[in-house]
Structure formats: C-alpha cells, structure tokens
Amino acid sequence: MTNRMTLKHVCKSFYTDEGEVNVLNDINLTLKKGEILVILGPSGSGKSTILNILSKLLAPTSGEIQINGQIGYMFQHDHLLEWRTIMANVLIGLEIQKKLTQENKDRVAQLLQTYGLWEFRNSFPRQLSGGMRQRAALIRTLATSPDILLLDEPFSALDYQTRLMVSDDIYQILKKENKEAILVSHDISEAISMADEICVLSKRPATIKSSHRITLTVEGERTPLSSRKAPEFKDYFDILWKELECHA
C-alpha cells in the first residue's frame, strides 16, 4: 500500500434556490504514505468541500474515492460543545468509539499539557481564547490516534509565534508516528514549510491548477523551521505567489 487516499475525477455541485453551483470540476489527488499534502487555493474555491468529501460527510456528484485508514478531521470551525468542559470535549471521540482506557486518557492528558491547556481542562469553551479553542480542537482530533489527518486551516486563529511552534509540533508528530495529513492553508510560507506536495486550486469551479513536489536542502532533519531556511524556499514562494496572484 503506497497510497493513503485517492480522489479520481471528483466533481461536486450544490443545488440551491438560485440553481446549480458547480464547485469542484475533475479533482484528482493522491495522498502518499508518510506524506503531507497541502491544498492551497483562494477563498471559496472548494477546499473545505474536498475535505468534507474525503471524510464522507458529503458525497461527490461523480468520481471515485479510495481511503486506506482511519481519518481524524479538524474542521475549519472548532465545533466545541459549549456545555462540555475542555476535557469532556477532547475525550468525545474516544467516548463515542468506546476507547476510554486509562492509557488513552493519559495520552490526552499529556497532549493537554504539551499544548498549554491542562490548567483549562475543567473550563468551558467560552472561557478560552480563539487560539486555545483551536488547540483544543486539534487535541480532540489527535485523541483517537487516527492514521490520516484532515486539517482545515488548523493554525489560523493562532498568533504568529504560537503558529510556528504548533506547526513544528504537529509536523514532528506526523513524521514521528508516520501518519499522513492533508492540510488546507492560505499561507504560502506555511504550505512550503510543511508540505511534501502542494496542490494549487483554481477559483470556482475548482480544478487542480498545478502540483509541486517540495524538495528542500536543509541541515540535519527537516522541520517547518529548518525548511524556512532552505535555499529553495524563496523560489517555491515566488512560483506559488504568481499562481495565486493570477486568480485575481
């Protein structure tokens, strides 16, 4: 098994009062084993729709999907349950899957500590900042130990410093545990720093405009931070900037 996920010729239309909205047009994507695929695209191009199709929340209008493994999905909006404490929120997936073992609870406690939420475990979502809520949503996604992560703008509510730190952490977790992820981002630098491959979407109806394999020369191990210092970084940035600019 070399591929974790494949989308073949996927099309998606929504039917609204105003008529048919054609959102995705012949999308082909492959997530390879051990890799991070980043989807970059303008607002409203259909990025979240692709993740919704991959997680089977939405059915494609046509096309084929293949998935090998269990998916963890971190939505663009955190969807924390306001009446549950942070601890009860992050444990919900394990609870539903009937996997509330001591070992799993200890692992979640460790994640809460790592992400600075341990002191807030008995607080309610409304008592947290936007960035803290996002971290809680991320822990909830990691709690069930999924094989494949779908991350929809996971760092967007974080301040810059925390964002660099959290993306470094997530990258290390993914690589250390040999998991795959599809990451949706608006941020070109973030995309290059995390990706093995970047797919650029055109504006609606979205097609894959181009895809780029990211190969960087780094000293020692590749991390998002060391990637940013690679000599090729700027060249990728310029190429992707031009491609996104052409949408205007």
CB of 192 to ligand ATP, least distance (A): 18
**Smaller CB distance to ligand ATP: residue 21 or 100?**
21
Stretch that binds Mg ion, among 75-83, 92-100, 170-178, 221-229 (CB under 5 A): 75-83
Q: Residue numbers of the site for ligand ATP (CB under 6 A)?
A: 14, 16, 21, 23, 41, 43-49, 76, 204
Q: Which does 167 bind (CB under 5 to 8 A by kind): ligand ATP, Mg ion, none?
A: none
CB of 136 to ligand ATP, least distance (A): 20
CB of 86 to Mg ion, least distance (A): 24
Question: Interface with Mg ion includes 45 (CB under 5 A)?
Answer: no
Looking at the DSSP bridge assignments, the partners of residue 211 are: 199
**Smaller CB distance to ligand ATP: residue 87 or 200?**
200
Provide the angle, in degrees to the nearest 10, between the axes of the packed helices 160-176 and 130-143.
Answer: 10
Provide the angle, in degrees to the nearest 10, between the axes of the packed helices 102-114 and 130-143.
Answer: 150
Residue with tokens 């999924």: 146
Stretch that binds Mg ion, among 45-53, 80-88, 107-115, 134-142 (CB under 5 A): 45-53
Q: Which does 43 bind (CB under 5 to 8 A by kind): Mg ion, ligand ATP, none?
A: ligand ATP
**Smaller CB distance to Mg ion: residue 73 or 233?**
73
Stretch that binds Mg ion, among 71-79, 130-138, 139-147, 226-234 (CB under 5 A): 71-79
Q: Check if the beta carbon of residue 214 is closer than 8 Å to that of residue 182.
A: no
Give the CA dihedral 76, 77, 80, 86, nearest 10 degrees.
70
Tell me how far apart the 2 most distant CA atoms of the chain are, in Å: 56
**Smaller CB distance to ligand ATP: residue 163 or 222?**
163
Side chain identity at residue 139, one-letter code: I
Token couple for 91: 């444990």
Alpha-carbon span 106 to 134, nearest angstrom = 21
Question: Interface with Mg ion includes 48 (CB under 5 A)?
Answer: yes
CB of 47 to Mg ion, least distance (A): 5
**Smaller CB distance to ligand ATP: residue 12 or 222?**
12
CB of 210 to ligand ATP, least distance (A): 17
Q: Check if the beta carbon of residue 32 is closer than 8 Å to that of residue 4.
A: yes
How many other CB atoms are found less than 10 A from the CB of residue 147?
16
The contacts of residue 42 (CB under 8 Å, 6+ apart) are 201, 203, 244, 247
Q: Which does 23 bind (CB under 5 to 8 A by kind): Mg ion, ligand ATP, none?
A: ligand ATP
Token couple for 151: 């991350």
Question: Interface with Mg ion includes 52 (CB under 5 A)?
Answer: no
Positions that interact with Mg ion (CB under 5 A): 47-48, 76
